[in-house]
Chains A and B, each alone.
Chain A
C-alpha cells in the first residue's frame, strides 16, 4: 500500500478538483495541466488522484527520464539469455489505463515533452530503433504541473492539454489554518488520517462510477453546441481541440451532477477549464481586475469588454505602454507614482540631481519575441524555457539525452545503449565466461546536453531626450518585459544606464534580478547623452574582470535612440567617436542588440546606423512585443447573457 494524501482532504481549490474529477469521469479527457505558484499544492493534488482512482495507479514521470524508458527499448535480459529481441515497454506503455504524472513539465527536456503529449493524443506508440520495430496502443490520463514563473510551454504544447486550471490563492485564514493542521496530522499519523477520510473517498468513488456509467447517455442540446463553437471563435482559439475539450468537460460535469442534459452552467465552467490556456499569446501578467464591490465589478466588466474590442483592432505596432486607454495600466501607474513620491523622499537619488529630472513609471509588460536567438539557432536545438541555449556538452557533465556511434578521440560510454546493441548477438559470440561479450562495433557513446547561461547586460539611455512624450514609460515597460523573459530563460542579467556625464552599473549581472524592478521604478531620466561612454563601459564590464569568464555567451542589449551629445575622449565629434568605438567592439565575441527607442518626427535613424556599425541585430521598441494582449476568458464567459 502506498500512502497518498486523500483527495477529499485537499482544502479549497474547488475548480482544480472539479477539473480533475471530470478527467476521471470522462476517459476522453486525456491531459490536465495544473498551474500554480510554489507551495500551493500542485503536486499534492495531482498525486492525491491515486487515492480515488480505484485501481488506476499514478505513475511518476521523473524530470530526468530518458527516451528509452519513456518509449521502451530492447529488453536486455531476454536478449542476452535467449538471443530474442523483445521489447521492455517504456513508461507510456506501462501507463496504459493508468494515470501518468509529470511534475514541472515546463522544465523537462523538449523531446520528452513532445513525445509525451503526442502519444497521449494519438494513443499509439510506434518505435523504430535498435534494429526492430514495435507498435502498441496506450491510453492514459496525463496530469502535469508547472509554475508559469519558471517558463512557459509553447502555444502548440499548451493546446495539447485538454484542461488547464490555476490553483487559487487561499486568503481565508480559517482555511489556511486548517491546511496547516491537516498537513501536520497527515505527516504524523498518515494511516489514521487516511482512515478518517475513508468514507469520503468511497462516496467520491461511487459518484465517479455513476458518472462514468451515465456519460454515454449525456447529450448536448443543439443550441449549446453552437454556443461552444462561437465561444471558441470569439476567443481566437485555433484549431478544434478547444471545442472538443469544452464539449467533453461539459458532458463530464453533467454526468457528475447526475444529469443527462448539458446545461448552460456546465458550458461556462467547461470553457474556463478548456479555453483559458488556448488563447493565443497569453500575457504573462494578465490584467485581472482586483476583486471589487458588486456594482463596481459590473461596470468594470463592461469597460473591459469594450477595451478588448479596442485592443483587438489595435495596430500591433502601437506597442506597450503607449496606449493610455487601458484603465488597468492607469491604475498601475497611479500606484507607482505614489511609490515614487515615497521613494523620492526617503531615498537618496542614485545619480546627482539634474534640472528637469523626471521619474517615470513602468509601462505595461508584454511577451517578448525571441530577439536573441537567430544567431544561436543554427547550432542548437529549439528551446522553450529554462536556459536560452542548450549545447551538446563536450565533457562528462550535463544531462544524458541520447546516444550515438562514438567519435574518434573520446569515449563517454552509454552502457545501456552499448549493452542493448550487443545483446542480440550474444548467442553466437564467444563470451569468455561473462554473460555479455561486447565488441567494438557495439559501443555507443552518450550525447550529453548542457545548458549554457547567457549574460545579458541591458544598457539603457536615461538622458533627457527619453523624457520627451513620456517615452521612458514605454522603455521601462520594455526593459521589465525583457528582464522577465531573461529570468524565465535563466539568463544572468545586468542593468547599466548612462546619462549626464557618465554611465552607472545599477545591477551587476545576476541570476536573481528581482532587484532590477525596484531600481527601474526609481530610475530618473534627464541630462545629456554619453552614449559612447556607456558603450565603452558595458564592453569593459563584460570583457574584463569577473564577468569576462562568467559565461560563454554575452550580449549587450542597447536601448537608445542612437543620439549622442557628450564626447567620450574629448578629442573628436561625439558621432565619430561612437562610430569608431562601435566598429572596434563589433565582432569581438559579444553579441549586440540595438533596440531603437526613437519616435516622432523627424526620425534621424541614428540607432539603425549604430546597429550597422556594431553588426548588431536591430529592433524597433514596438517590434519586441510578440502580439497584442488578448482578453481574458473569464470576462467573456461571465458576460455571456442567455
Chain B
C-alpha cells in the first residue's frame, strides 16, 4: 500500500478562476492543446496543477498495456492494441484515473523519448524499447514546471509528440513508435526568460496569473494554507463535498461536449477574429471554437453564449496576436471584444 501524500484540494484554491477554468476545459476537451501558466513565484501555479490530479476522471484502458490505450479511441492505439482490435479481439480493460506526470527539468533526452532497455539487452541479448516519460504521459497530464528553462531539444521533442500525438523513436538502435497524447501543462515565470513565439503558438491556452490584490482574499489564502498544513487530512475531508461537486461537473460537461457541434455563429465569429488579427495559421480558430464549446459544457449548457466565447478568446488569442517575431501586430483586446459583441450582441 502506498502512502498517499496529502495534496491541497483544488476546491480550496482562492481566486485564480482563469487558471482553474483553463485547466478544466482541457480536461474535458483534450485537443484544445494544453495550458501555459505564466506568473510570478508564489501564485499557486504548481499547487493548482498538482491539485488537478484529484479531480481527474477515470477512463477505460487496455489491461497490461504500458501506454494505457483506450480501446474506443481508435485513432490512438499502440501497435499491440491496434493488432488486437483489428483482429476483432476484445482486449480486457480496466479503469484507471488520469494522472499528473511531472517532467523534471534535468530529464535527459533518452528518458523523455524512451531508449534501449539495457537489462534485456545484457541478460537476454534482445533489443527492447524502454518507454520514457512520453509513454507514461499518454492519456495523462504532462506537467512541466518552468518550461522556459527546459533545454531546447527537449522542448522540440515534447512539442513534436504533442502535435502528432505519436512519439517516433529512431535512436540508439531502437526503432519504435507509440501513441503520446497528453495534456501539456507548463508553468513559467516570465522574469526568468521568455518562450519563443513559435512555442507559445503550440500551447492551446495561455493564462497570466497575478498575486491576489484584495487584502481579505490574501488573508484567506494564508489562513487556508495554514489550516491545510496543520491537519491536511481533516482539511481535505472538509473540502471533499466540493471536490466531488467538481468531479461530477466534469463528468456532465464531458458528456455534453462530446455531443456538441459548433454552430455557424461560433465558427463565423472565430473566422472573423482570425481574419481581423491577420493570423496565417488555423490553430487559433480551432482553439477558440473548442474552448468556447468546453466553457459552455462546463456551465452545463449545450449552447455557446457570448460570455463563453469572450472567455475563450481571452485565453486563446492574446499569445497568438503577435504573428511573426518582428512584425508589428500588437492588437488590443478591445477589437476582439467588439467583434464578439457584433456577433453575439452586447
Q: Interface on A for B, CB 8 Å cutoff?
A: 1, 3, 36-41, 43, 60-66, 68-70, 73, 76-77, 80-81, 88, 91, 94, 103-104, 107, 147, 149-150, 169-171, 173, 176-177, 179-181, 183-184, 187, 190-191, 386-387, 396-400, 414-416, 419-420, 426, 434-436, 438, 450-451, 480, 483-484, 487, 490, 492, 510-514, 516-518, 521
Contact = CB atoms under 8 A, between A and B. Distances in A.
Contacts of A426: 125
A180 B109 contact: no
B194 interface: yes
Nearest to A167: B280
B151 interface: yes
B160 A514 contact: no
Interface of B: 31, 74-75, 86, 106, 108-110, 113, 115-116, 118, 121-127, 151-153, 156-157, 160, 163-164, 166, 168-175, 177, 193-198, 201-202, 262, 264, 267-268, 270-272, 274-275, 279-286, 289-290, 322-328, 330
A511 to B, nearest CB: 5
B153 A514 contact: no
A80 to B, nearest CB: 4
Contacts, number: 207
Contacts of A88: 173
Contacts of A94: 175
Contacts of A438: 122
A182 to B, nearest CB: 10
B115 to A, nearest CB: 8
A290 to B, nearest CB: 12
Contacts of A36: 280
Contact of B108 (A3, A397, A416): A397
Given A88-B173, A150-B198, A183 B286 contact: yes
17 contacts: A3-B74, A62-B171, A63-B160, A64-B109, A66-B172, A68-B171, A76-B127, A180-B282, A187-B31, A398-B151, A419-B173, A420-B173, A435-B121, A435-B123, A511-B194, A514-B324, A514-B327
A415 B118 contact: yes
B36 to A, nearest CB: 13
Given A149-B325, A480-B326, A451 B284 contact: no
A436 B283 contact: no
B282 A41 contact: yes
A512 B280 CA distance: 20
B328 A107 contact: no
B282 to A, nearest CB: 5
A184 B323 CA distance: 24
Contact of A511 (B163, B196, B283): B196
Nearest to B122: A436
Contacts of A39: 201, 279-284
Contacts of A37: 280-281, 323-324
B110 A65 contact: no
A521 B156 CA distance: 33
B330 A518 contact: yes
Given A81-B125, A435-B125, A490-B196, A176 B275 contact: yes
Given A77-B126, A398-B151, 15 more contacts: A39-B280, A39-B281, A40-B281, A62-B160, A62-B171, A65-B171, A66-B172, A69-B171, A107-B156, A180-B270, A180-B282, A184-B289, A400-B171, A414-B172, A490-B196
B55 to A, nearest CB: 24
In the A-B complex, list the 5 residue pairs whose CB atoms are closest, starting with the nearest. Answer: A39-B281, A435-B125, A512-B194, A39-B283, A80-B125
Given A176-B282, A416-B116, A484-B325, A62 B271 contact: no
B170 A387 contact: no
Contacts of B115: 415
Given A38-B281, A66-B171, A510-B194, A435 B325 contact: no
A180 B194 contact: no
Contact of B125 (A41, A104, A436): A436
A36 B323 CA distance: 13
A517 B328 contact: yes
Contacts of B324: 37, 149, 514
A76 B322 CA distance: 50
Given A62-B169, A65-B171, A512-B197, A398 B281 contact: no
Contacts of A63: 153, 156-157, 160
A96 to B, nearest CB: 15
